[in-house]
Structure 1
Amino acid sequence: MELKFNDYLISTDKALLHRETVRQLLGNTYWANKRPAEKIDKSIETSLCYGVYHGKSQIGFARIITDWATTYWLCDVVIDDTYRGRGIGKKLVEIITQSDELKGLSGFLGTADAHGLYERYGFARDADRFMVRRPK
């Protein structure tokens, strides 16, 4: 999938991903700043990935984990700081949530600070039902 948005390209073509850029983008987040490079690489290999590009530069990333039948987990949504505030993250989430590939599947995600963004695209808070088990 490739889609133009203003001067940006959003694509699921993994061949376009700049892995070092993805590692840097994730390294600047609160949720993945301690994630080793080999884990980032493995997560890319085993997930549906979305890259966002401005010219030849990658400026955004998102990842989907799914069984393709019932559910998907939206994670690692990140836009380079210098490109924030331009609607790129909103467009990325819109494209993901409206994709034919994920149509009819229940979507899940975790966020500490972007509830308002995701609520615009049909996600609802449900703190009473979800649990987490993190590796030690």
Structure 2
Amino acid sequence: MTIATNAVLRISTDRDELDVELIHRFLADEAYWSRGIPRATVEQAIAGSLCFGGYVDGRQVAFARVVTDGATFGYLADVFVLPEHRGRGYAKALMAAVMGHPQLQGLRRFSLATSDAHTLYAGFGFTAPSRPQNLMEKLDPDIYTRQPGRP
């Protein structure tokens, strides 16, 4: 389903349109948060998420996904615009489509993690946690780059 069009960027939630090879290549080789991620893991993440692809002239140039129960929470992940397509407002258009999606309305908590895009997300109402002492995580940042079979 096409959910938005920004002059040149068309945004769709149709998983069949996703260029999984491109998504995997970007996440495995370029994204600081998922270096070395296996393709099978990317495929599994896509299968369990509400995905948004951004397309210019029929080619995918942007991606985002939301893990959600559609009622109480959402977690925004793997947001990117290919480097050669940055600076054109595509990230804002992609985020507007994500935030406007009907399945993501009325969520009690919508969260994300970022090291470099605070300004983008702040423009859509994201802030630092109001009670960080209530949040916990179990993080394994090297999971994709460790040799298989090693803890």
Normalising by the smaller structure, the TM-score range is over 0.9
- Matches of 1:91 and 1:130, distance apart in 2: 30
For 1:29-44, what aligned pairs fall within 5 Å after superposition? 29-44=31-46
Q: Deviation at 1:128?
A: 4.0
Q: Give structure 1 regions of 4+ aligned residues with deviation exceeding 6 angstroms.
A: none
Deviations 1:43-88 (A, max 9, x none): 0111110001111211011010001110000000000000001000
Q: How does 1:84-123 map to 2 (within 5 A)?
A: 84-105=86-107, 106-123=109-126
Q: Contact (CA 8 Å) 1:25, 1:79: kept in 2 or not?
A: no
One-letter amino acid matched to 1:17:
L
- TM-score when normalising by structure 2: 0.85
Q: Tell which structure's C-alpha radius of gyration is larger.
A: 2
Alpha-carbon distance in 2 for matches of 1:8, 1:118: 19
Moved more, 27-36 or 58-67: 27-36
Matched residue, 1:55: 57
| Cα pair distance change 1:33/1:4, threshold 3 Å | same
Equivalent residue number for residue 22 of structure 2? 21
RMSD: 1.3
Identity among equivalent positions (%) equals 35
Aligned to 1:7: 8
Partner SS state of residue 96, structure 1: helix
The two structures have a TM-score, normalised by structure 1, of 0.94
Partner of 1:82: 84
In structure 2, C-alpha distance between the alignment counterparts of 1:129 and 1:112, rounded to whole Å: 21
- Which amino acid in 1 is paired with 2:27? L
Q: Contact conserved, 1:49 with 1:63, CA < 8 A, in 2?
A: yes
For structure 1, the 5+ residue unaligned runs are none
